Every structure is written in structure tokens, then in C-alpha cells.
Chains A and B, each alone.
Chain A
Amino acid sequence: MTVNGQPRAAEVEPRTLLVHYLRDSLGLTGTNIGCDTSSCGACTVHVDGEAVKSCTVLAAQVAGAEVTTIEGLATADGLHPMQQAFMDCHGLQCGFCTPGMVMAATSLLREHPNPTEDEVRLGLEGNLCRCTGYHNIVKAVLACAGGGA
């Protein structure tokens, strides 16, 4: 598979989850694990451009796919506009939900470039945050959409 633009290959136990492959084998620890029931979204990454909870797929299932993790978002020019919007709007506190939230939000905007507040809230339903009360996360996503990201 390709991870953040780089070809990666490894022998792993067949049962290895994508999230453990990314974290433990590749050392890409930005993708977090917040639950064991596919409920929290902390592990959200992009697989072939779509937001996927990486704790729900086996690493072997995405062999050949293009995976983007939070580490692959910022460029030499700086933070991705969504990351910048989260920072500008104080859309994070402890930051644990944040990588998943940002990955989910970027994919949300790809599908709905100009969402309403309700669409943002519904679109992020699969990502839990215990710190922010979501107010500033929603604000960040709307700001990013407004900014034409």
C-alpha cells in the first residue's frame, strides 16, 4: 500500500488492524485509538480518498490502496487549511480526537463543499470529542468551508 505517498510493504499477522499497522509497524502514531467498538472515530484515516475508521479494517484488506494519515496532511508550506482552521477556532483541547476529527472533516468537505451547520454536525456524528463540546470544531469546519479549502 501507499501511505502518505510512500510505498510501504510489511509482513504482518493476518489479523493486524490497519490502525495497529500504522501505529506499531510504521510508527505513524498520530492516528489514535479511542475505543474498541468502532464508535469514536479517533482512528479515522483516508483510504483512497475516503474517510475510514482504521480500527475497522485489516491492514491486509487495504493492500494496494492509498492511505493518508494525519501525518500526511501538512505540507512544506505549513498546516493543511483544515488544521489551520482548527487552530484558529480553538477546535481542539487535549488533541486526542483531533487527528480523526480533522481527517473526517476534510473528507466531509470533499463531499459537501458548502455544508450547513446541521450537515457538519451530522457529518461528524461518528467522531467523539470529550473536551470541546463540538462548538469550536463545527465552527472550524464551517470556517474552512467558507475559506474555500
Chain B
Amino acid sequence: MSAIGTPMKRREDPRLLTGEAKYVDDIQVPGQLWMGMVRATVAHATIAAIDTSAAEAMDGVFAVYTGADLQEMGLWGAPLPCAWVVTPDMANPAHYPTAVDEVHHLGEIVAVVLADSRYRAADAAEAVVVDYAELAAVPNLDAAMAGAAVAHSSLSTNHAYHWPLVPDPDALEAAFANAAHTVTAEFVQQRLIPAAMEPRGVLAVPSPYGGDITLYSSTQVPHILKVMVAATTGISEAKIRVVAPSVGGGFGAKLNINPDEMLAVALAHRLGRPVRWTESRTEAAGSTHQGRGQHQRIELAADAGGKLLGCRVHIDADMGAYMMLITPGVPLLGSFLYTGVYDVPAFGFTCDGWFTNLTPTDAYRGAGRPEASYAIERAMDLLAAEVGVGPDEIRRRNFLGGGDRFENLTVASTLVFDSGHYGPNLDRALELADYDGLRAEQQRRRAAGEPVQLGIGLCTYVEICGLAPSRALGGLNYGAGGWEHAVVRMLPTGKVEVVSGSTPHGQGHETTWSQIVADKLGIDPADVTVLHSDTAISPLGLDTYGSRSLAVGGVAISMACDKVVDKAKVIAAHLMEANVDDLVFENGAFSVAGTPAASTPIQAVAFAAFTAHNLPDGVEPNLQEQVTFDPPNFAFPFGTHVAVVEVDTETGGVRLVGYTAVDDCGTQINPLIVEGQVHGGIVQGVAQALWEGVHYDEDGIIKNPSLMDYLVPSAAEVPSIRTDSTVTPSTSNPLGVKGVGEAGTIGSAAAVMNAICDALSPFGIADLPMPASPQTVWRAVESARATTGGAS
């Protein structure tokens, strides 16, 4: 039986379900010191004075260091890294783990306390008194662009960079000149707190005499972190080991190189004592990067029949106070997707990045792509209304390849889409959602003038994942490659160890990888052990983000299995005294074609390779192969989401009552895991549409930092989700896989907002800002009633 394609239960689960799994905060080390962070309570100020005396006098306090102290101690070899300098002239003010003279956002670290317990570190941090001389803050994007205040005293402007992607400006111009219909829309992508349920945490354990240091971190990127620890602290890379133990979700928020990590390593290394820190949830609002933070303007040009001629996009992107690891690149990740699943002859995209005095932005589930999908999918609904056709029809008229299956198609943004088959995917979603029935019910409610109206929203998204071909990343000036590494080794007893360079934090890599290996080697998945997330065990890797694990890392594993079989075949031929070319490998055993009875199982070959008593000349002992896979192209999953909302026109309340998702992520290895990824992604996107958003006041202070006011949805707010899939294999890799980690989020915010606007279209309401809170909806309905006398 094939393991690939089977909804296998996850092998990760028992240890997670019983409390056996260890997250960073669960690991205790004798002699450890707790860091307490003294964080800026203002968004922009010079530090006039810091009084540490009270804290230093407290019981159990080992030391207190200000930013200036740490600079003097010479702890930093370089500022924290930005790996994506998007233009040669991009502004990039130095970002050290602690502020020295000037703070630039709420939550920036100004001093660190080391104490012998969690509680004492927190108490001592509170006892440090910082005297700030406040400077005018830049509390939002509008203020950044207006430029009355500048976020960094060292800079003359808030403008960070300008990045254009306009392949053919004349064609774009002509498209708009010749259009029968144009649509212009502006959207705000509010800032979001990623809110992985496990807060970030670090533990740095030095070996003072050996000279090496181990960093346990709640990170998605142990390999990248290792390189960056070396760059920032000056400790030799070869002396650093990074371990990501169980990690409680990431969603992009744990792919950064954070001040706290560097402080823990540098102080542990200097003091010869283990140093640790665990973020509190409220602290995280300021100390962990946020997502989104963009103003978008999208213009569509179409002919009389609604066929798209051109698409022009401008983004103003809120960088926050500093460029973190990929802060400036996030909008670029979306740039290529503003034409969605549509055949758009002319395209242009420009982006300006701006500094504010807010927590830096960076990757958050989808990173640039949910924003792109939101803009084009909202705009398509506006175009449908302008042309006078339904949202399904406007999409059909514009699908790439006419909705038929295509492979390796170059689109206007210059990318080559690996494969797509959009028409049947839309059909299936409409059928599963009972689209016609929903429209009938909507008509009934409209005709009856019922207060609770029904809205149906579509989103036909495409996303770009499988990051990434290293050359493509080089072309975008990204500071690293996009390959992934894998080792497959057969042990003497016939069991298999797989070493994966990609690092899970809830995705179930161990289960999925074992399924791939089981099929490739013809063995029981239970005989496969997957090792990962520790740079001492898995020295090469580029980690987990951008829905890349399967499409790059999983493929590397599959290719390494192929190499294992190739080598085993040579040994088997020797043992069987047969010709290599006559051997076939089936169900885990080698046999001469046509005589399956006399077969040699791969486990026997592994043992022979281990003893090495009788190997062919020139064949090395052991059965272990490695592959570094650099994908030739990205992968482009797609899908159709249908959201159904009830909007109470009297209270403004919106209730999501139905959600259907038909996703196409190419070949599926484990459909159970695919579905789970889709569910979770959808709810995160729904949450952006309906509830979440960071509220900053005019001084750059977060008004809703805790989970009491930042509305992460519970089970009570969301419905069950209907899912199905179509399968259009990718041409970018031999497994035909694409990726599914971000798909849900990329489809759902637009689907929900399209549904709300659909419900309110009789009121003449074409657009609403996210999140569509009851107040926002109620106000829009009231003002529509006031100006038009009101519909229904």
C-alpha cells in the first residue's frame, strides 16, 4: 500500500498530547539566570538617564546592564541583520539588541536585568527607572508619509526605499487608455499580532571551558539563527549550536533574529552562566514583529466585456522602526501576485517603504501574499459590479488559460506559473457551497427586507510558495539561497534515519517525511525516524517559512531516497551476482526482472553495506545519501474559497455562518495534515477580516496588547469548514507537490470581506475597512441609509 496520499495519524501527537514534549520554557538548567527586560514605554525618545540602583540592590539580582553598558562591554560584532536589502540605497538604521541613546518603538529593550528566578527578574526589571526626553513620534503610515516628524533622528526622512516592478510601462499606459471599464480601490492592511500560542523564549547554555554555546530558541529558523548569532555576537559559527525544541506555532513571527536571542547568547557567553528569557504575552505585542501594515491602491482596466487589460498597483508599506530579517522584502513577496489567477496583459507594481515609530513588521502567515490576494480579489468584485456580471462570471472570463489546465505559463509579472486548472476548481467550490441555493436565499431575504442579510463572498486565489530558486532570490537581492538539505541513512538493522533541514513547529514534518521515505524505500513508515531542528544533528538547512517545507525539503528527502536505492542496487546486484541493469526495485526488495521470488530486501543490502565484507570494488561502506535540492521554479497553489456571512443591518453584527474551501496544492502526501493546515489558515484570515488589528494611539502606544483586547478568535466565533481539493501536480519538482501552509490565510480575508460587501450591496456600500467590527458595519449602514434613504 502506498503511504503517500494516506491520511496517516501524526506520530508527533502522543508526546504533545501527554505533556511529554518540551518547549523552550520547559527546559531547566542548573545555575540559570533569568533575563528581565526593561522595555521602552514610549515610542520615540532620547534616553536621558537610567537609574539601576534600586534593581541592583534587590535580592537575587545578579546584574543590571543598560544599552550603553552592553556597548561598552563590546558584546556586538554587528547590528541585528536585515537579509533583504531590496534596493542599493535602502535606508537601514543600525539596530542593536538594546537601544543606547534613542528609543524608536514601544517595547524596544533599554536595559536587561539578570536574576536567579523568573519572578525576581520581572520585579527587578520593573525597579529600573528610565528617564525619557520624548521626541515627536511617527505613529502610523500617514504620519510617516506626511513627514512632520521623523522616526529616526539619524535620518532626514521616513522614506526607506522605492521598489518598482513595471515590466512594460508603455503597454500599461495603453491598457488604461483603451479601457472601457476601470476600477480604482484603496485598501488598508491593518497591523496584526501573529500570536503563536507559545510565546517566544530562549535559553543560552555556555560551556565556559570548551568555548561552545548552545542556544535553545522557540524559532522557525535554527540554521539561519546560527549564522546570524555568529554575525551579531562575533562568536565563531563553528562554536554555536542552535536547537529548536518543540515550537508552539510560528506563523512567521518566529523566523526573525531577535534582540532577546542575541542578549541571551552574548551574556551567557560572556558570563559563563546559562541565561534565559520567556516572553510574556503582553510584552510580545511590542517585542515580536507584527504582520501586514500596508496601504494599497489597485487599479484595473478592462474591456467592455470585463476582460482585464491591465493592473496597476502601488503599496505604501509600514516597516516599523527597524529593518528586521526580511522586513523590506515582505511587500515584494506579494508583488508578483497582484494579477492573481487572471490573464492580465499589462502589469505594474511600485512599493514605497516607510519608517514609523512602531514595532517592526515582518513575515506573518502568507507574508505579502494575503495582502496581494486581498487587493486583487476585492477589486475583481468591484469590477464585476462595474461590468454588471456576477463575481463568479468576472473570474471565469479572466482565468489564466481560459480556466483550462496549463503548465509553465509566463504571466505579466514575469513569473512562470508551474501549473493551474482554475475552472473546475471554482466549479467544485460553488457546487460544494451550494452557491445557487445561497443566492436564492439571499434574494429571499432581500425581497422580504429582513434585517439580517446574507452575503456570499468568493476568492479565487493563487499563491507563490516553495521558496525558492536560489537564483531568483539572488535576483531580488535576498541575502541567502532557497535550497533545502536532506540526509537519508539506512541503519544496520534496516531502520531509516532521515535528517531534515526544514524545521517543524506544528506542521507534522515527521509524519509526512516518513510517508515519503516509506514509499520510496518500500518500507513501513514506522521504521523511519526523522531528525531535525538541531544544528548539531542537521547542520545544513534553510528552515521553515513560505510554505516551503514539502516543496523543497520533502523533495530533497525523496531525491535522497532515490540515491539510496541507486547505491543499494549496485550492492544488491553484486550480492545476487546479477547485472545491475537487470534488477528491479519493488516493495522494498531487489529482484531480477521476471523472477521476483529470488529477491533481496533493501534491509539486507543495508546490513551488507554496514559490514562491508563483500562490496563491489569502489563502493563505499554504509547506505547514506544526501541531497541539497534547489528548486528550478516556485510552486503556485491555488483554490476557491466561498464565505457566507449574516450581517445584521440593525446592530452591525457580522456572523460567519459557512465556509467552503477547495484548495489545490498539487499532489498531497497526507490529506489529513493538508486539511488541518487549511482550517487553521482560514481562521487566521477570517480573523483579520472580522476581529484583529493592533490599535496604536497618536503617541505610538499599543492600546490592545493583551489577549483580552486583541481579539484572537475562539471556537465559539467560527463555524465548521467544508473542504475539498483538486489536484494539479506541480511541474517544479518530481513529487508534483506545491505547499499549503499559507493558502488558507491567503484566501480567507478577501472571501469574508467580499461576502460582507455582497450582503451590503443593496445599501450602495462597496467597501469597508478591516476588521469589519459591528461598529464599522453599523456606521456604514447608517450613513448609507441617511444619504440614500436606505435600501430594504
Contact = CB atoms under 8 A, between A and B. Distances in A.
B84 to A, nearest CB: 26
B676 A93 contact: yes
Given A30-B19, A86-B13, A95-B506, A39 B707 contact: yes
A137 B18 CA distance: 16
A135 B26 CA distance: 28
B673 interface: yes
A79 B17 CA distance: 8
A83 B15 CA distance: 11
B156 interface: no
A136 B197 contact: no
Contact of A79 (B14, B676, B684, B716): B14
B282 A95 contact: no
B197 A94 contact: yes
Contacts of B714: 121, 124-128, 134
B197 A133 contact: no
Interface in A22-41: 23-24, 27-37, 39-40
B281 interface: yes
* Residue in A32, A93, A126 whose Cβ sees the most chain B Cβ within 10 Å: A93
A15 B505 CA distance: 33
B18 A94 contact: no
Interface in A2-24: 13, 15, 20, 23-24
Interface string A75-101: 000010001001110101111111100
Contacts of B28: 24, 27
A130 B195 contact: yes
A15 B708 CA distance: 22
Contacts of A93: 249, 506-508, 676-677, 680
A69 interface: yes
Given A13-B119, A127-B714, A92 B13 contact: yes
B791 to A, nearest CB: 32
A117 B720 contact: yes
A51 interface: no
Interface residues of B, number: 58
Contacts of B248: 32, 34, 94-97
Contacts of A48: none
B12 A133 contact: no
A27 B785 CA distance: 61
B164 to A, nearest CB: 36
Contact of A70 (B9, B18, B26, B720): B18
Contact of A94 (B195, B196, B683, B706): B196
Nearest to A72: B19
Contacts of A40: 197, 281, 707
A53 to B, nearest CB: 12
Contact of A96 (B249, B673, B677): B249
B165 interface: no
A122 B716 contact: yes
Contact of A34 (B197, B679, B680): B197
Contacts, number: 184
Interface in A91-116: 92-99, 102
Given A95-B16, A96-B249, A90 B672 contact: yes
B744 to A, nearest CB: 8
A31 to B, nearest CB: 7
A29 B527 CA distance: 29
B29 to A, nearest CB: 13
B675 interface: yes
Interface string B163-205: 0000000000000000000000000000000011111000000
A15 B123 CA distance: 12
Given A79-B18, A130-B196, A120 B251 contact: no
B375 interface: no
A16 B589 CA distance: 60
A13 B23 CA distance: 25
Contacts of B119: 13, 15
A36 B280 contact: yes
A69 to B, nearest CB: 7
17 contacts: A29-B19, A34-B707, A36-B706, A40-B197, A73-B18, A87-B9, A94-B248, A99-B19, A124-B715, A131-B249, A131-B506, A133-B683, A133-B721, A134-B679, A134-B715, A136-B675, A139-B720
Closest 10 CB pairs of A and B: A30-B19, A95-B16, A96-B248, A94-B506, A29-B26, A133-B679, A133-B683, A39-B707, A93-B506, A134-B715
Given A131-B197, A133-B679, A133-B683, 9 more contacts: A24-B28, A31-B19, A34-B707, A94-B505, A96-B249, A121-B714, A125-B714, A130-B195, A136-B675
